[in-house]
């Protein structure tokens, strides 16, 4: 097998929960040597549900198992002077250090970027926090929903006559983790070219705000504020119930240029009427059109409609359950989900490569480490510690 893209890159992972671990997961799955440094009790994500077999166990948290593939785990107490000394020793030959503490923590430990740069001028230090390392909000606490709300993205989600919505789960965290991994590799490229390290400052809230894209420029140049859109019953792109689920129709330009094409596709002669032939007529008769469409779609099968629509180059989508997503012929063809064996949790499936490289393939088929699994190995190989040294550190509560 060809070497992975990040083979030989050394990463110290001081992260916990989601955003930071996702950043380092992306690096580890493409070959970086990631040493996950956990407090003696472990990353708090080890207690995040759901759990394999519904058993609350530090080695069975499904989020943790997904977010920490291909890493090595060591335990290290950074509240002790000896623990800080060991981290500083590890940082001397690291390429990247990733942390997602609040901005006050690393300076309070004497581990801020200026201090670490003295040890290793080439070090790339990635700092992920709720609002970044600067600004009046920098020390505020936040949740994923707060970051969505303050990022402005939540304002434009949902129906205009209802309260704003956000995407499910922790999308702000994953967005920030993706940004952090991308920025780390850009800084690494600069390091390889110049020998100079730098600090990468990632704000989770800012990661959300940056996703506003054209909404921001539209407001800047026209003063227009995009709002959540109405979803009237005659809207041709409205989510519709079908006989076996839901489908998201979008006949696209055909509805504006050739209404007969839409009538033919839907097998709906009752729509061959001047009341529906133009966009303005459809809006004027939206309620009647909506009733007809609801009745028509309820008689359809979602996959039949999906395949027929794409034959006509309509942009139709089906609302798949997770079971259907994992069984999708498209996902199966691209190995979108893979099985992994974990020594404690057993065998489970999780998403495969987020993208594919032809020459330096993804190598994420290594399970998340058990707590402290590699402590002795890493400290012996990287720092030359003996068994007696390790026993002493264990007795002192450093590892």
Look at 102-116, 157-171, 348-362 and tell me which has the smallest mean pLDDT: 157-171
Rounded mean pLDDT, 48-60: 93
What pLDDT is recorded for position 232? 61
What pLDDT is recorded for position 217? 73
| pLDDT beyond 90 at 302 | yes
Domains annotated on the chain, with CATH? 10-213+331-395 (3.40.50.10540), 240-318 (3.30.1540.10)
Q: Are 204 and 147 in contact (CB under 8 A)?
A: yes
Q: End-to-end CA distance of the chain, in Å?
A: 35
**CA–CA gap between residue 396 and residue 399 (Å, rounded):** 8
| pLDDT beyond 90 at 71 | yes
143-153 pLDDT, tens digit per residue, is 999 998 888 88
What pLDDT is recorded for position 164? 83
| More confident of the two residues 2 and 362 | 362
| pLDDT beyond 80 at 348 | yes
Residue 19, classified by CB atoms within 10 Å of its CB into exposed (0-12), middle (13-18) or buried (19+), is buried
Residue 142 CB coordination number (10 Å): 17
Of 16, 380, 372, nearest in space to 390 by CA: 380
What pLDDT is recorded for position 81? 95
166-198 pLDDT, tens digit per residue, is 888 899 999 999 999 999 999 999 999 999 999
Q: Are 160 and 227 in contact (CB under 8 A)?
A: yes
What pLDDT is recorded for position 154? 83
DSSP SS3 for 123: coil
360-388 pLDDT, tens digit per residue, is 989 888 999 999 999 999 999 999 999 99
What pLDDT is recorded for position 246? 95
The pTM assigned to this predicted structure is: 0.90
What pLDDT is recorded for position 235? 83
What pLDDT is recorded for position 228? 61
The pLDDT-based confidence of 231 (bands split at 50, 70, 90) is low
The pLDDT-based confidence of 274 (bands split at 50, 70, 90) is very high
What pLDDT is recorded for position 45? 95
Q: Are 202 and 126 in contact (CB under 8 A)?
A: yes
123-147 pLDDT, tens digit per residue, is 999 999 999 999 999 999 999 999 9
Q: Helix %, strand %, coil % for the chain, to 5?
A: 45, 15, 45
Q: Are 163 and 174 in contact (CB under 8 A)?
A: no
247-269 pLDDT, tens digit per residue, is 999 887 666 768 999 999 999 99
Beta-bridge partners for 340: 348
What pLDDT is recorded for position 226? 65
């Amino acid at each position: 097998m060809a070497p992975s893209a990040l083979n030989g890159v050394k990463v110290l992972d001081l992260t916990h929960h989601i955003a930071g671990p996702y950043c380092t997961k992306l690096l580890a799955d493409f070959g970086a040597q990631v040493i996950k440094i956990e407090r003696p009790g472990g990353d708090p994500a080890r207690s995040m549900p759901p759990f394999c077999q519904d058993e609350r166990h530090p080695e069975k948290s499904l989020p943790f198992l997904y977010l920490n593939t291909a890493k090595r785990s060591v335990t290290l107490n950074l509240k002790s002077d000896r623990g800080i000394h060991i981290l500083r020793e590890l940082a001397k030959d690291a390429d990247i250090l990733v942390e997602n503490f609040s901005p006050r923590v690393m300076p309070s430990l004497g581990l801020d970027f200026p201090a670490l740069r003295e040890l290793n001028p080439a070090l790339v230090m990635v700092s992920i926090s709720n609002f970044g390392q600067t600004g009046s909000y920098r020390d505020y606490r936040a949740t994923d929903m707060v970051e969505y709300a303050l990022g402005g993205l939540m304002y434009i989600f949902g129906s205009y006559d209802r309260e704003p919505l956000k995407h499910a789960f922790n999308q702000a965290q994953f967005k920030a983790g993706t940004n952090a991994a991308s920025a780390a590799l850009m800084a690494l490229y600069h390091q390889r070219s110049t020998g100079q390290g730098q600090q990468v400052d990632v704000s989770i809230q800012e990661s959300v705000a940056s996703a506003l894209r054209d909404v921001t420029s539209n407001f800047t140049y026209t003063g227009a504020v995009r709002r959540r859109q109405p979803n009237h019953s005659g809207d041709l792109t409205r989510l519709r119930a079908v006989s076996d689920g839901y489908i998201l129709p979008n006949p696209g330009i055909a509805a504006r240029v050739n209404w007969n094409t839409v009538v033919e596709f839907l097998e709906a002669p009752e729509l061959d009427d001047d009341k529906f032939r133009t966009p303005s007529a459809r809006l004027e008769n939206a309620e009647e059109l909506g009733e007809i469409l609801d009745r028509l779609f309820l008689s359809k099968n979602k996959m039949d409609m999906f395949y027929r629509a794409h034959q006509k180059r309509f942009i139709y989508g089906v609302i798949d359950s997770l079971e259907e997503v994992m069984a999708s012929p498209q996902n199966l063809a691209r190995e979108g989900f893979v099985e992994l064996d974990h020594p404690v949790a057993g065998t489970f499936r999780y998403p495969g490569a987020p993208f594919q490289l032809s020459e330096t393939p993804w190598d994420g088929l290594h399970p998340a480490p058990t707590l402290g699994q590699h402590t002795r190995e890493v400290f012996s190989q990287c720092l030359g510690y003996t068994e007696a040294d390790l026993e002493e550190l264990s007795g002192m509560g450093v590892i």
